[in-house]
Amino acid sequence: MAMRPPDTERLSVMTLEELKRQAEISLSGLGVDNEAAIEKKFADAWDAMVQERRHLIQHSADITFSRRVREFRNLFLARGHGLVARIKANWLDATPKTLKPFAGREFNTLRLNAENLLEEDAILKIVSSRQSFGKSEPREEVDLTLPGNRRPLGSLHPVTQMQREIEEIFLNLGFRIESGPEIESVYYNFDALNIPESHPSRDDWDTLYIDSKTVLRTHTSPVQIRAMEKYGAPLYIIIPGKCYRHDNPDASHSPMFHQIEGLAIASDITFADLKGTLDFFARKLFGEKVRTRFQPSFFPFTEPSGEVSISCIFCGGEGCRVCKESGWIEVMGCGMVHPLVLRNGGIDPEKYTGWAFGLGIDRFAMLKYDINDIQLFFQSDVRFLKQF
């Protein structure tokens, strides 16, 4: 409902004290018995509010301004004893039925105008403006009927958008989201995942330590062990989160990055289930025409292990600069969960099997949005982020 502008010809008709007195009397007691008289009475009330507001702005000292504003809000909008509440009780509720619809519209206009007049962001703007000029500076008249300045709405970060899109696919497949600490023990980050201190593959992850037994997690895999201990089998989870490695920042590496891992454990899980799930995931994320390819690889926590590639989404597999003319883009690692890892999680590998995969959310976002530098995600450049 639009705010009614103050009637400058009638600002002196009703003072605040007169409004307080009349708010305790019914409209019929005030001799108001037709639509025109009702409209004038509510207009007088609005003009009294505006005049009191202007008086407050012009005459309040800076040090008492905030306190006076709070008192002003209480005067008009306090429940039960505020002037707007008294007007409702005595002007609106006591109005005869024949005139009540018209009086109701006038009251709603008055109430909304009072709320708009006393919006806190407008009040704070006045305080800031008055203080910034200093006491010796002339005070600028503020028109409270003008719309306020609003900050532009933000949007989700592209990495967050990518994470939620991936989560949605697996949630629809029956997985649930699990999380864990980013500061992790060496046991959960390495030992329980079949990466003992003597294992050569540990050199790739043995990086950012808090102390001799605590490390910034290098992958979200520790949550797999924690989830096995907590829930047992069967188990279907995905694990999104931040990870940390001592990588030199460049176009494709960052010391902090985002990862999602998936884990499925049941009594009849096979590698065929893994291939079918990841093939379905790739087609849902990148389109039905995408093909997947699995190649042997090595990870200490899975056996057998594989690397998953998808047909290039930019050239359709024909060869381009992105896929280095190969027609394929490597996107994640996967494999059947190593029996020792299952046992470390408290699950009998003779009874249950499982598969797992891990992918970098940042690199998936780079791939889907055709971004050539991972550092852009962490520089907080609004010009870049506004594109998403």
Residue in 334, 156, 342 with CA at minimum distance from that of residue 233 = 342
Same domain, 220 and 289: yes
Residue 188 and residue 55 share a domain: no
Domain match, 309 and 356 both: yes
pLDDT at position 68 is: 63
139 found inside a domain: no
Same domain, 181 and 230: yes
Task: Tell me, yes or no, whether 143 lies in a domain.
Answer: no
CATH code, domain with 275: 3.30.930.10
Mark whether 229 and 347 lie in a shared domain.
yes
Q: Given this model, what pLDDT does residue 193 score?
A: 92
Tokens 């592209």 belong to residue: 158
Question: What Å distances lie between residue 375 and 219, 253, 255, 366, 380, CA to CA?
Answer: 19, 8, 10, 10, 10
What is the number of domains present in the chain? 2
Q: Are 38 and 45 in contact (CB under 8 A)?
A: no
Cβ atoms within 10 Å, residue 326: 13
Residues 228, 355 within the same domain: yes
The β-bridge relationship of strands 214-216 and 209-211 is antiparallel
pLDDT of residue 142: 64
Residue 142 maps to a domain: no
- Helix, coil or strand: residue 32: coil
The reply to whether 98 and 207 lie within a common domain is no
Residues 129 and 214 in one domain: no
Residue 342 placed within a domain: yes
What string of pLDDT tens digits covers the 388 residues of the chain?
444 444 444 444 578 788 888 888 888 888 888 888 888 888 888 888 888 777 766 665 544 555 666 676 777 877 767 888 888 888 888 888 888 888 888 888 888 887 776 664 444 444 444 444 444 445 556 667 777 777 777 788 999 999 999 999 999 999 999 999 999 999 999 999 998 888 777 777 667 888 888 999 999 999 999 999 999 999 999 999 999 988 888 888 888 999 999 999 999 899 999 999 999 999 999 889 999 999 999 989 999 999 999 998 888 878 888 788 888 989 999 999 999 999 999 999 999 999 999 999 999 998 888 888 888 898 888 888 888 7
Asked if residue 330 and residue 184 are part of one domain, the reply reads: yes
What is residue 1's predicted lDDT score, i.e. its pLDDT? 41
Q: Is 233 within a domain?
A: yes
Query: 133, 150, 185 — which closes off a domain?
Result: 133
Residue from 309, 313, 307, 303 nearest 354 by CA: 303
Residue environment code for 76-109, b if the CB has 16+ CB neighbours within 10 A, otherwise e: bbeeeebbbbbbbebbbeebeeebeebbeebbeb
Q: Is there a single domain that holds both residue 289 and residue 234?
A: yes
Confidence (pLDDT) at 64: 56
Domain range enclosing 302: 158-385
What's the confidence (pLDDT) of residue 312? 87
Q: Are residues 206 and 109 in the same domain?
A: no
Q: Report how far residue 244's alpha carbon sits from residue 88's, in angstroms, rounded to the nearest whole number.
A: 61
What is the maximum alpha-carbon separation in the chain? 96
Same-domain pairing of 201 and 295? yes
**Does some domain include residue 153?**
no
- How many Å apart are CA 350 and CA 301, to the nearest integer? 17
Residue 147 lies in a domain: no
51 in Cβ contact with 16 (< 8 Å):
yes
Q: Give the domain-ending residue among 133, 166, 182.
A: 133
Domain annotation covers residue 79: yes
d(CA 225, CA 341): 8
pTM of the model: 0.60
Q: What is the residue type of 25?
A: I
Q: Residue 197 — φ and ψ, nearest 5°?
A: -60, -30
Residue 105 pLDDT? 86
